Every structure is written in structure tokens, then in C-alpha cells.
């Protein structure tokens, strides 16, 4: 069983739409949670950390549900520049587990 | 501006060759990581180092070794390259602890023929 699972998509949404991604993790002892963004043929970059109380950064909102062992990312008012692959990342001790990513394309 | 550099963007090696992948960071970070990224499997941690000469195995260390003689440099070594080690290799660094951003290098696309 994979430590972290994501729906690979692709998600194709029009500009201005709201889109949500979920990610589940298998180990309840997982300690830290992140969303990274990876553009085509580029390296991953941190989008945001995910805190227990949920957190927001502009149009992006991340939530953590420890009871159900999933994290989510909500993107409001999608922009063309949001087109990328979004990677869910979970830390367990010194190990970092990446999901395979969810592909988003925002269409004009 | 933070920077992680990797020695090659593309590398082609033959089966059985010894391969060195070099990573250098200029941020004075204690933690450094080596991942490989494969379609359908995502990024998987090979090794990481939390200090000079210190290392810990990640999820898939078999067939790899690492060296960290200086704080800014972390090397990944394939002692005897095999075709199943054809992959994109990404190096990253971060501040100590587990809750800090990892900064990634641009990656090395290694092909073993």
C-alpha cells in the first residue's frame, strides 16, 4: 500500500473556477504535511504547508483531517498560471513521502 | 536567492558503470536529500543527510550510496549502474528539522543503456 495516494487527474477547469484536490495518507503517525507544485519539466516547489487548523494563502486553502487521514487543497478563481502538477507530501519521522501528483490544466 | 545545483542535466551511462551525481547548495542548509522521480511512482527518497558525514537510508536505498564530505555538497553514487536506475534524480536541501521547505535542484535525467 502506498503511503500517500492522490487522484492523478487530469483536472481541466475553466479560468475562474474553483477546484479541489484530495490526498490520503496511510500512517496515522504522520507528522507534517505539505503541498508542492511542479511545473512541466521543472523541479517541485513548496506551495504551502498544511496545518491542523487549516490555512489559507491568497486563493489557496489547505486543510488537514487527521481522523480520516486526508489533506486537501482548494484553489479559488483559477488562473492560467495555476496549470501544473500538485504534489501532496507527508513526513513521518525523517522520511518524506510524495504522492504521484494531480495534474491541473486551467483553460482560457 | 536560494540555489541548488546539480552537476548534469542529462547523463547517459552504460550498464555496470560507476556513476556520480553531484549536488551543491549555497544556503548553508544542514539537510540534503536525494530522490528519484518516475512516472506513476512519484518522488521516492533514496538517502538523506542531516549533517556532514551523516546519512540515513530513505525508502529505496538499494543500489545507491552517498557521500557528504562538506556541508554544501551531497553526492549520489551508483556503484554499478543498471537499466532500472534510469530515472530523473532530484537533489534537495532544507534547514534542520522536518517542517521546513525543501529546495530542489533542476534534476538530472539519467539513462542507463
- Look up residue A5 and give its three cell numbers: 495516494
Residue A42 in this model has a pLDDT that exceeds 80: yes
Torsion sign over Cα B28, B31, B36, B40: negative
The CA-based angle B42-B49-B5, given to 5 degrees, is 65
Q: What are phi and psi of A80, to 5 degrees?
A: -55, -35
Q: Give percent of chain B with pLDDT exceeding 90.
A: 90
- pLDDT tens track for B40-49: 899 999 999 9
Judge whether A91 is closer than 8 Å to chain B, CB to CB: yes
Chain A residue with CA closest to B105: the answer is A43
Confidence of residue A22 (pLDDT cuts 50, 70, 90): very high
For chain B, 113 residues long, give each residue's pLDDT as a single digit of tens: 669 999 999 999 999 999 999 999 999 999 999 999 999 899 999 999 999 989 999 999 999 999 999 999 999 999 999 999 999 999 999 998 878 889 999 999 999 99
Among A49, A95, A101, beta carbon nearest to B58: A95
DSSP B8: -
Report the C-alpha gap between B23 and B33 in whole angstroms: 9
CA atoms within 13 A on the CB side of A76: 7
Cβ–Cβ under 8 Å, residues B99 and B10: no
Contacts of A85 in chain B (CB under 8 A): none
d(CA A39, CA A19): 18
Amino acid at each position: 500500500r502506498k503511503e500517500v495516494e492522490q487522484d492523478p487527474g487530469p483536472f481541466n477547469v475553466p479560468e475562474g473556477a474553483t477546484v479541489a484536490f484530495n490526498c490520503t495518507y496511510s500512517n496515522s503517525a504522520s507528522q507534517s504535511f505539505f503541498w508542492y507544485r511542479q511545473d512541466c519539466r521543472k523541479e517541485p516547489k513548496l506551495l504551502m504547508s498544511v496545518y491542523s487548523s487549516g490555512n489559507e494563502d491568497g486563493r489557496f486553502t489547505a486543510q488537514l483531517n487527521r481522523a480520516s487521514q486526508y489533506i486537501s487543497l482548494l484553489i479559488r478563481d483559477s488562473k492560467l498560471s495555476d496549470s501544473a502538477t500538485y504534489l501532496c507530501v507527508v513526513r513521518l519521522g525523517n522520511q518524506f513521502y510524495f504522492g504521484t501528483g494531480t495534474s491541473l490544466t486551467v483553460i482560457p | 536567492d536560494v540555489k541548488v545545483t546539480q552537476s548534469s542535466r542529462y547523463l547517459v551511462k552504460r550498464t555496470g558503470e560507476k556513476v556520480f551525481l553531484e549536488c551543491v547548495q549555497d544556503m548553508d542548509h544542514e539537510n540534503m536529500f536525494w530522490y528519484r522521480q518516475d512516472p506513476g511512482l512519484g518522488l521516492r527518497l533514496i538517502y538523506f543527510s542531516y549533517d556532514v558525514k551523516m546519512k540515513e537510508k530513505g525508502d529505496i536505498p538499494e543500489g545507491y550510496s552517498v557521500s557528504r564530505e562538506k556541508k554544501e555538497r551531497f553526492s549520489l553514487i551508483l556503484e554499478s549502474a543498471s537499466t532500472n536506475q534510469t530515472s530523473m534524480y532530484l537533489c534537495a536541501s532544507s534547514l534542520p528539522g522536518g517542517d521546513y521547505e525543501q529546495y530542489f535542484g533542476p534534476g538530472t535525467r539519467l539513462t542507463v543503456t
